[in-house]
Chains A and B, each alone.
Chain A
């Protein structure tokens, strides 16, 4: 071997260098251990939390929204499983390809999806963005079978609001809509997240807090690819509270059917406490349409509809009351003693004031007529005279006492107050003094006077009740875990303070409207039940402009009169009071009274049947 052995000097130098190397290696070892100490001991707890966050995803579980029942416990609104499609913006590899695939597979507008993604991904790149709610079975199958090249697309099952009877009481029940940015920021919806649906109208809006329930959550272990491996813990959602309405489903259905193809409203209340038994407004809308992120075309169709299907005509439709207002004038006259019920005046079909003449609806006139018949046959000339005796401000005073010209306090809001003119109002509003002729028109419910169907129902209810004006309410009870947390109780908002004998006179006349052969409301007669009522025909165009000799049939429909009918039954022990308004329906006695009749008949029959069943058990 030619390898030379170390000479002593060389060995010494090598030894010194090796000691240096030993020192160096040990020092680096210490440095690495210190690094581990820093990571695992000093910063360890923070990293432990990060590793937990890594593997644990929080997933929301939507609560079941509270159910809505009718007064007899029949289910009106529930929830159905909905298969919703989400896209996680961060997980998409090729956006344009995904958009194209989705368009081809299930026909979603790529522009719409793109818009949703832009909106979401800026703020929450890992949060699934909702793209389409409620996929059909076919769409679901197509998406599932193509899942392998739809990375980032996921399907989640969530409960979805379902309005069983579609357009049923849609103006009362309302609808849901996606929560808006400003609502989210308002702090009024602390539990809500973007994409949540909240009540936007009707009971759904007013009782949102109770119906919503509490969101639950799941801690899910996921791997780096985001696959769900197991559920670590789960906080069950708290379902929303169930609401029972005062609505009677059958009566409501009947009211809606009666209004089918028409424009108008029907309100039925229990005159003893203000419970709303039915409230229909036509045309109506299907609240189910609003859920799937209402299609643009549907939305445009609904809001641009000239017939305003979203408007609840029963509370926000304002119409001249027509002859129904004669109840108020009669009451005012009796109380102010400007009307003597025995006094007979002569109606020749025309009343002249100054150089203007006002016609009675009955061209040939009513002849000699007193209060009772004037109401039964709705003589205009009689009330022109009585109105003139009273003057505008006295009439207005009694109208206000009867709850007109102000909101009834309807529980769900969005109510209009109508209008009861006074001489002061005229001066302020128009800068012109009140004209005597306007009092004449006002006495038969024309002129500036405006009322809502709900106000009319409350009025007739109060006249046949003890004079109390109740706040109309629609919520019978709210239940939480089977325990009632809210129960209906009547609220009195006003009182028709009149002498009992005067009230009796008016009630008697209103019974005559239906019962007596010359009454204008004979079409509301129900066999075996005393129905009381009053017809009204609200003019759309001023009476004086009507050319003599022109027949009603020749008038275009939008200028045809609105038909009114208010009724109460049974008259001695009232169980139901209602107001029917058919826009451009013509005469109240012929267009509105038959509807009232149908409703009264059905309701009272069902009620007596129900009480029989109750007395059996």
Chain B
């Protein structure tokens, strides 16, 4: 199975980008969790290093694994992750009001992270099998919609509306990429608008409040609007060069909420300023452009679609998180991919990056 050409074609650029991002993440988390008064550091940034090491191992495994096997494993994998997602409702841990976690021994993880990947692979497999060149009509797409809808509804019920929406948007991007008829799109759009009041009615009160405070943050400057305002103050007060590493007052004095997870970007923007945050976004832009390049160079439709799905995953999580921290979107609780603290997210992202690398390395292989 192992081929010498694999090593020749190893994607050093992708690896370099990932290592750079991981380094920024650890350095930033060190600051985000730096204690106010007592000396010393919090174990969180150390844990993040462990997670990156584990992620690196996962990445290597995925790299050596030929992604073509996934054509067969796609649906079983999807069903397995769906089962785990359902299991959350039975034996999942409840943390801060929502049931998102499964624990095995000492390790807990979020099945919603796993299903991100199996969904992307399953959709890729679907469009691979139904490889029409022509545009898809709605009646051709009932299967992919079903595949996406079931886990999204489950995740939304956890409740983790932000993740459910992100996954839905990522999958929808893939479907769009596979090309849907304009008329079908229009119908979908109308259906979405018609469904909006129904969805609104089904939102929990705190979720509705978040949307409302997003629309006018001054309505409740100490409640839900507080997070948005403090994040904007943190980012804005960084000015051009930033306040300096470990010198962000918004971070240091805990005016930022969830500063090591959802608002990790605000920490970076405060301390490194416009320059630092632009450089970080540039790293991610390069990563995504490189991913698109991998999709272009892939010799087969399956690999190309997976690569595109992974790019969509990075893209939407990034856009949603940055929009949220800069006050363009309501606070939905989507972490900044790879920059924020979070084991499940790092492992699933590493797996995705491993897949990407696997596709990249096999771009010259003809079978």
Binding site for B on A (CB under 8 A): 1-6, 9-10, 13-15, 17-18, 21-22, 25-26, 28-29, 32-33, 35-37, 39-41, 43-48, 50-52, 54-55, 90, 221-225, 229
Contact = CB atoms under 8 A, between A and B. Distances in A.
Nearest to B319: A28
Contacts of A223: 36, 252-255
Contact of A54 (B222, B250, B326): B250
Contacts, number: 147
Contacts of B289: 22, 25-26
Contacts of B335: none
Contact of A40 (B177, B239, B308): B239
A-B pairs with the 8 shortest C-beta distances? Answer: A47-B236, A51-B237, A223-B253, A40-B274, A224-B254, A48-B237, A44-B239, A39-B236
A44 B326 contact: no
A43 B233 CA distance: 10
B133 interface: yes
B22 interface: no
A222 B322 CA distance: 28
Interface in B10-31: none
Given A4-B300, A21-B311, A36-B274, A44 B238 contact: yes
B109 interface: no
Contacts of A35: 322-323, 326, 328
A83 B207 CA distance: 45
B277 A9 contact: no
A32 B322 contact: yes
Interface stretch (B96-104, B198-206, B291-299, B342-350): B291-299
A37 B274 contact: yes
B221 to A, nearest CB: 11
B68 interface: yes
B249 A54 contact: yes
A224 B278 CA distance: 28
A225 B133 contact: no
Interface string B266-306: 00011001100110011001001100100110011110100
B117 to A, nearest CB: 19
Contacts of A39: 232, 235-236, 326-327
B200 to A, nearest CB: 26
B128 interface: yes
A25 B253 contact: no
Contacts of A52: 237, 249
Given A6-B300, A18-B296, A36 B277 contact: yes
B37 interface: yes
A225 B254 CA distance: 8
B312 to A, nearest CB: 9
Contacts of B285: 25-26, 29
A17 B222 CA distance: 45
A1 to B, nearest CB: 4
A28 B128 CA distance: 28
Given A4-B301, A6-B299, A48-B237, A229 B37 contact: yes
Contact of B238 (A22, A29, A40, A50): A40
B270 to A, nearest CB: 8
19 contacts: A1-B68, A3-B71, A3-B128, A4-B301, A18-B292, A18-B295, A25-B288, A28-B319, A33-B281, A35-B322, A44-B236, A50-B233, A50-B237, A51-B233, A54-B253, A54-B255, A55-B250, A221-B253, A229-B253
B182 interface: no
B250 to A, nearest CB: 6
A33 to B, nearest CB: 6
A3 B36 CA distance: 56
B2 interface: no
Interface residues of B, number: 56
B131 interface: yes
Nearest to A20: B177
Given A32-B281, A36-B278, 4 more contacts: A3-B300, A33-B278, A35-B323, A55-B249
Given A3-B71, A13-B133, A54 B128 contact: no
Contacts of B301: 3-4, 6, 10, 14
B364 interface: no
Nearest to A222: B253
Nearest to A44: B239
B367 interface: yes
A36 B289 CA distance: 21
Nearest to B231: A39
B232 A36 contact: no
Contacts of A41: 239-240, 274
Contacts of A13: 133, 179
A47 to B, nearest CB: 3
B315 interface: yes
Contact of B250 (A44, A51, A221): A51
A35 B239 CA distance: 13
A40 B249 contact: no
Contact of A4 (B131, B230, B273): B131
B234 interface: yes
A47 B233 contact: yes
Contacts of B236: 39-40, 43-44, 46-48, 50-51
B142 interface: no
B128, B238, B300: most-surrounded residue (chain A CB, <10 A) = B238
B31 to A, nearest CB: 16
A1 B362 CA distance: 13
A55 B277 CA distance: 23
Contacts of A9: 133
A422 to B, nearest CB: 71
A46 B235 CA distance: 12
A384 to B, nearest CB: 84
B235 A40 contact: yes
Contacts of B299: 5-6
B249 A51 contact: yes
A50 B299 CA distance: 54
Nearest to A24: B315
A150 to B, nearest CB: 21
A5 B254 CA distance: 54
Contact of A29 (B281, B304, B311, B326): B281
Nearest to A47: B236
Nearest to A56: B249
Contact of B239 (A6, A26, A45, A224): A45
A357 B22 CA distance: 118
Contacts of B308: 18, 21
Interface in B161-212: 177, 179
B363 to A, nearest CB: 12
Contacts of B131: 4, 10
Nearest to A45: B239
Nearest to A37: B274
Interface string B29-47: 0000000110000000000
A413 to B, nearest CB: 49
Contacts of B311: 21, 25
B177 A36 contact: no
A233 to B, nearest CB: 15
A21 B177 contact: yes
Contacts of A45: 239
B237 A5 contact: no
Nearest to B298: A6
B326 A36 contact: yes
A121 B273 CA distance: 38
Contacts of A46: 236
B260 to A, nearest CB: 15
Contact of B292 (A25, A36, A44, A221): A25
Contact of B253 (A5, A14, A21, A55): A55
A55 to B, nearest CB: 5
A55 B315 contact: no
A21 B312 CA distance: 10
B12 to A, nearest CB: 22
A52 B249 CA distance: 8
A5, A14, A37, A43: most-surrounded residue (chain B CB, <10 A) = A14
